[in-house]
Amino acid sequence: MKPFVYIVLLFTISSINAQNMKSDLPYAVVPPHPEKYTATTVAARMIDGLGFRYYWATEGLRPEDLDYKVSDEGRTSAETVHHIYDLSKMIVNATTKTPNGKIEKDSLSFDELRSATLLNFQKASTILLEAESLDDFNIIFKNDYGTSEHPFWISISGTIEDAIWHSGQIAMLRRASGNPFNSKVSVFSGKVRK
């Protein structure tokens, strides 16, 4: 009888820990807005909106949702999640002034990718909220051929908007695989209705 009790206890503790880890992730709601409009606070807010959409697009995805794709040529939801993770690294690298090199395929689980992506968004937003100008936040690429820099404008129209686009794709794919995201999520208010 004792081994059975220990097994039940172990599963209960693991389940509680897993729920606590989920609740520690940012963007279940959009954080409070900044007090004033500046280029940096607007850019931070764009990333916060992206984080919120990504959080709910990926919340509760099942293995069958992650494997789902519309056609043989299309990406699965899991591949799209990984692509958004790569974009999140480019976004945070711009804010930390870190050059982007060759993208290595990270072998992270879905939960690890989701967590790292949300934390990257949060870090980039926090840096932007504390900054005075976007002028120093270039996207930097460094490879065997040299280094190139692109202004933050490219982060807005490129990586941030691309990540928003793909978050919408995940929301669409999960609906098609029979697991639509929480209908109480309000992308207008950035909150979850009761």
Q: State residue 7's pLDDT score.
A: 42
Q: State residue 23's pLDDT score.
A: 60
* pTM assigned to the model: 0.86
Q: What CATH number is given to the structural domain containing 103?
A: 1.20.120.450
Radius of gyration of the chain (CA): 19
Q: State residue 9's pLDDT score.
A: 37
Task: Let me know how long the chain is.
Answer: 194
Contact 175, 93 (CB under 8 A): no
Contact 78, 111 (CB under 8 A): no
Residue 87 structural domain = 2-192
Sequence letter at residue 46:
M
Mean pLDDT per segment of 10 residues, for the chain of length 194 residues?
43 41 82 96 98 98 97 95 97 97 84 98 98 96 93 96 98 96 93 92
Backbone angles phi, psi at 144, to 5 degrees: -65, -20
- Domains of the chain: total: 1
